[in-house]
Amino acid sequence: MQQVSQRTTAEPESVPAPGAEPDGAQYRPGRTITDWKPEDEAFWLTRGRKVAARNLWISVPALLLGFVVWQVWSVTVVNLQAVGFPFSASQLFWLTAVPGLTGGTLRIVYTFVMPLVGGRRWTALSTVVLVVPLAWLGFAVQDTSTPYWVMLLIAALCGMGGANFASSMVNIGFFYPKRLKGNALGINGGLGNLGVSVVQLVAPLVVTAGVLLAPAGGPQAKKAGGQVWLQNGALLWIPLLLVMAGLAWFLMNDLKASAAPFRKQRVVFKRSNTWLMTWLYVGTFGSFIGFAAALPLLIKTTFTPLNPAYSATTYAWLGPLCGALTRWGGGWLADRIGGAKVTLISFAGMAASIVAVIAFLPSGGAGGNFWGFLIAFLCAFSFSGLGNGSTFQQIPVIFRNRALRAASGKGEAAQAAALRQAEMESGAVTGFSSAIAAYGFFFIPAMFANFSVTSALWSFVAFYGTCLVVCWLRYARRGAPDPS
């Protein structure tokens, strides 16, 4: 009788109320999750890990395509004059730089809007909207009478692709426990960053033939002879964007736990760690994206006149590839030995690499050493990627530790509330720092355009020195205020 009584009283707990969803339904693809506890080991192993992985592996290719759109102008401008567009070198520079300005600015917006809309909805929306500038670009490059202001507007809209990084990293950060955030964000950011290499490698190839057939439009004649299909470099990505937007909508999840109005998020601007970590991330990601935009021009203007075999389109994509791959390694390593240590290694390595770049430049009538220059730059990219991963691992650790210290001795409820606040703040700082660092896309090429190459490079070395000091004093040394 006692056993029957136990079954009778336990049974109602396993039967859902009339009209309610069965247990676990909220974790299915396309649903909004209201109960998310990644720091609970049992929850993580039984349910959280699988859901987080599904959202991560849809986020990665969507983000990669965002970087493709952001960088598509870096390879489009190369052929505009050749097919008859009457744009000056200065105008071409602005077409390359404008996506960096709009991308960085929109990252600030995307950082604070995504938690309000939801990761699933925002990923789908921010991916599908990129079809607009690509389609417009595909038609605009087929008509050499297209006004320059129209081209500038298209370039500005392409900046939306770069803005996706902020919302994507904030969203994925909410899914993972503290001990795995560095690895997860390294995978998302690193493989997403591969979009820079992908577009710089693929676009120059597909514009050389009518691979998209008649519906995409005919070829453009080059003034020096030959034909190109410039529209292919833009239109090729549209079907992929549509597919990824659909996958995001139907297979990702919105996290109710990540929702926060701007009035709660803006508290991060009062935190000194917000500004210090932004400074460090400017040094890592700002260098990565700025060097990616500038390296093709550096090769073309510095070494190609000496030897036409040193083609920018042949070698420039290797740098972003190295930086994208080491970003994952930086996050993984930071989870194991501490983010601050990896960040110190990153800045020391970047400084040494740029000194080596300077040593291999043509100087005093000597032709320099192209292969030494290229290898040194690849090292700089690799160390920047390492720091990209480690700095984003540091941010949640710093804010979590601060919150726990503030709530110490105040009870479990206070600690739980502090952790929720820390999660929200670290997400906001992740997005904000990525927004400011994105301006490196504009400022690093501008430095090369307005100063000598050597002077610009030495200024970067000096900046990395300040980053080393900040990281050591605040985060890495024994007894540091915020060890991470």
Rounded to the nearest 10°, the torsion over CA 408, 414, 415, 418 is -110
On the question of pLDDT at 284 being above 50, the answer is yes
For the segment 86-98, the average pLDDT, to the nearest whole number, is: 84
Predicted pLDDT at 250: 97
Supply the pLDDT for residue 3. Answer: 43
Residues in the chain: 484
Instruction: Out of 135-144, 256-265, 325-334, 433-442, give the one with best mean pLDDT.
Output: 135-144
- pLDDT tens digits, 152-182: 999 999 999 999 998 998 899 889 998 888 8
d(CA 423, CA 338): 19
Give the model's pLDDT for residue 262: 65
Confidence category of residue 410, pLDDT binned at 50, 70, 90: confident
Mean pLDDT, all residues of the chain: 88
| Contact call for residues 165 and 63 (beta carbons, < 8 A) | yes
pLDDT band at 23 (very low <50, low <70, confident <90, very high): low
Looking at residues 420-424, what average pLDDT do you find?
Answer: 82
Give percent above pLDDT 70 in the chain. Answer: 93
Q: What is the pLDDT of residue 403?
A: 86
**Taking residues 403-417, what's their average pLDDT?**
85
Q: What is the pTM of this model?
A: 0.81
Is the pLDDT at 6 greater than 60? The verdict is no
Q: Which of 138, 132, 158, 161 shows the shortest CA–CA distance to 67?
A: 161
Within 10 Å of residue 207's Cβ, how many Cβ atoms?
25
Calculated CA dihedral for residues 123, 129, 134, 137, nearest 10 degrees: -150
